[in-house]
Amino acid sequence: MGSASNFPEANTTVRALIADPAVGEMLELLAGESSLDRPLRHPRIQKSGLVLVGHSRGIVRHRVQVLGETEISFLESLDPVTRRQRCDFLFSLDLSLVVVTRGVSPLAELLDAARATGTPFAIMEPRSSRAIALIHAVLDRLLAPSETRHGVLIDVHGLGALLLGPSGIGKSECALFLVERGHRLVADDQVILSRTPNGEVIGRPPPLLRHHLELRGIGIVNIRDLFGATAVREDKVVHLVVELCPWDPDEEFDRLGLDDLRHELLGLSLPMLRIPVQPGRNMAVILEVAARNQLLKRAGRDGAREFVRALHARLGITPDD
């Protein structure tokens, strides 16, 4: 199983961070409007207190720099000339973004230095601890390793099922059948997958395709408009990968449920099923059963293996036979 360190360094921008509602609603940009495309390359903020005493070693330009109550109080304790020198030194480091917490009016020297260097400079309403938590949560998402897959992601009984398979195999139709039965569409055709710091893969649709489903012969339909808000969701953790395969009588498919197939997504190994598609098969019911069975396995109940153990016991076969 891989780790996030196996992926190239991720990048996002100040613009993307402040455009996220979770941060943007709490933040007011005061300077640096022309520099919002400066990169952010680390999901954790950096407290800039040491810089204010002239020590810049260890400062990472492309992290969000936060000035809290302690740092502002320290600046206020300095004489005007020294205060301006320290503020000018901080903003001379070509930082991506500096944030002052608690929504306080910034010191004039900070604002002047930000404007002089074109550095994005903002205030956030919450106290430092909450502001930092918000920034971390958004940057975790923006900087997560990601890729886009052709497929369908649907929430079935609370389990995220990623449907893969060749074009025309019926992935979108399966999703429609499941929505009709009360399940929720996440993404159709293109699924953006991101790996989270806690070792999960989350899927979401591209913004333009959000809530939409393509049906051959009908066209593109809006599932939310047709079935209501409860028929869609914005994202979902992927728990199970299902490959829909063309029916081939000469190909062997798992008939007992003992094959532990796995599929790798973003360095994580996820359980996988290969299900043949044939006219007349009720794929919605089959996928519901697959989801329910996977939920039982996650709870420690494996019906196939319990059956085989019971059969072996009846026949007097020991595991080593």
Catalytic residues: 150, 171, 189, 255
Cα 206 → chain centroid: 12
Cα→Cα distances 3→195, 234, 263, Å: 10, 26, 15
Buried b (16+ CB within 10 A) or exposed e, 3-42: ebeeeeebebbbebbbebeebeebbebbbbeebbebebeb
DSSP secondary structure string for all residues of 258-289: ----EEEETTEEEEEEEEEE-TT--HHHHHHH
Collapsed DSSP state (helix, strand, coil) of residue 311:
helix
Residue 218 CA to residue 230 CA, distance in Å, equals 23
